[in-house]
Chain A
């Protein structure tokens, strides 16, 4: 009798379906995965260390470079954390605009996800439709902050500049376009026999395990746990909006797919409520010495110019203490743990990356399953290596 031997196979770091530079060291017995070990760190750039060496304002652009598909969510998390540390209350309008853009970011991230996940599983055209619709969201980023991907539009204490005059019209246009697109996606994937076969009952994780692995976001909700930080610990005005938290039942890849599409619809519900009730007011809090004064004032008022100069060169001194602010990003709970030590740079900036924590559950999802399902499992976690490795 010949002995049974397993095959060691490296998937990645250069592999199209690992969404970047993830390496999974697999041990295969025929087609079955015996052991899987994700190996990360290929994109490690020391974001946290860099942030700790910068002034609070200047560390902001690093946040959107982590999760480059959801830049606004990351900006929001960081801004809220610093505002909490400094005890700043932002104007009501800022909260609403931030919430609106954070929801559009969720749609943006989910569209890229649904496109690439479809691509992974062979639904090529899905990618094209999703990216077509995502384009409208990038347009509004450009109209607001001037950048299409690394927006840095949210600033500590407010926004970089006021929202464009046609903000309302643009957002309604996005809602219309993507809603139309959603019908296409449903036709292409939801009822698609091949897609269902490849995702139903694949990469299953039970509710108990999901909590044990500290999963968050769609990974946690897909297993039937109704937890969303927007409802649980509302921030940035979410307590004013009415929306549902979609949950899955079986905790498989198909449930997570359905859930993400439903989240897009709920995001639009929130956006519409925001547009209907958008408050008037300044786009930045007035906290001299901490929040940058608006650019027009800097050009015309001597005090504003001095504050601007001082904030840019010296920054502001934060009190000694640690704050943690978590928000519900498209991938899950992104949290910023910031420790001030009385100087103008943070002692510690910790980013609690949702994708990193969710990715740790990959062995649980794939072990015992088929090799071909590893692709589906990686896709359904929705990882972004910039954030995993930081």
Chain B
């Protein structure tokens, strides 16, 4: 299965596959951000490969780690083939400034909330998403909590009326 996907990607998107990795049996392909949508579209229509299930979208913030030189953020797409019971990952590296990748909501309706969560937590924008708003944090929340430079102990005053002039206890 692994070999089939590799061949499929190589044949159709030769240059777009930047590398691959197999850690503890989890196969992943590093692809360029521009080619994400066409690759996913092709995989969905690939017939016998039968990759129709998008299990998850998530991201990793590599700030402060040596691998951040390829781009600070890594968006991970977790794809699954129901008939072959095979799982693999597509990884996209994004730069620190203005991280953005195309949305997969046109291909999978399930991507909607997953992308919203990644946007909320990491501040990565998904172009073409119909409703890219915060999902877990409240409206008006500032910052993106799962970024490594977001302090875990920082508490935001969440009410607008005293936001600019928070009471002594919060200051």
Contacts and interface: CB of A to CB of B under 8 A. Distances in A.
20 contacts: A41-B136, A44-B137, A49-B152, A211-B82, A212-B109, A214-B111, A232-B82, A321-B24, A322-B23, A335-B55, A337-B56, A347-B60, A347-B62, A347-B65, A348-B60, A350-B58, A352-B55, A356-B117, A360-B113, A389-B136
Contacts of A232: 82, 85
Contact of B78 (A335, A339, A360, A389): A335
Interface in B101-121: 108-114, 117, 121
A46 B113 contact: no
Q: Chain A: interface residue count, which band?
A: 35 or more
Interface string B127-153: 000000011111000000110001010
Contacts of A360: 109-110, 112-113
B164 interface: no
Contacts of B111: 214
A333 interface: yes
Instruction: Label chain A's interface by main secondary structure.
Output: mixed
B137 to A, nearest CB: 6
Nearest to B58: A350
B56 A87 contact: no
Contacts of B53: 211, 214
Contact of A44 (B24, B85, B109, B136): B136
Nearest to A350: B58
A53 B146 CA distance: 11
Given A212-B108, A227-B82, A347-B60, 19 more contacts: A41-B135, A49-B145, A52-B146, A85-B24, A209-B109, A233-B87, A321-B21, A321-B23, A324-B26, A324-B78, A324-B89, A333-B55, A335-B55, A335-B56, A335-B78, A359-B113, A360-B113, A364-B109, A390-B136
Interface of A: 40-41, 44, 46, 48-50, 52-53, 84-85, 87, 209, 211-216, 225, 227, 232-233, 320-324, 326, 333, 335, 337, 339, 341, 347-348, 350, 352, 356-357, 359-361, 364, 389-390
A49 B28 CA distance: 24
Given A232-B85, A324-B78, A357-B113, A339 B24 contact: no
B61 interface: yes
Nearest to A227: B82
Contacts, number: 109
Contacts of B136: 40-41, 44, 389-390
B152 A326 contact: no
A341 B55 CA distance: 24
Contacts of A320: 67
A114 to B, nearest CB: 26
A246 B65 CA distance: 46
Contact of B24 (A87, A356, A361): A87
Nearest to A360: B113
B137 A41 contact: yes
A238 to B, nearest CB: 13
Nearest to A390: B136
Interface string B69-96: 0000000101000100101010000000
B78 A41 contact: no
Contacts of A227: 82
A214 B87 CA distance: 14
Contacts of B110: 212-215, 357, 360-361
A389 B137 CA distance: 9
In this complex, the member of A52, A85, A324 whose beta carbon has the largest number of chain B beta carbons within 10 angstroms is A324
A323 B22 CA distance: 10
Contacts of A389: 136
B54 interface: yes
B64 to A, nearest CB: 9
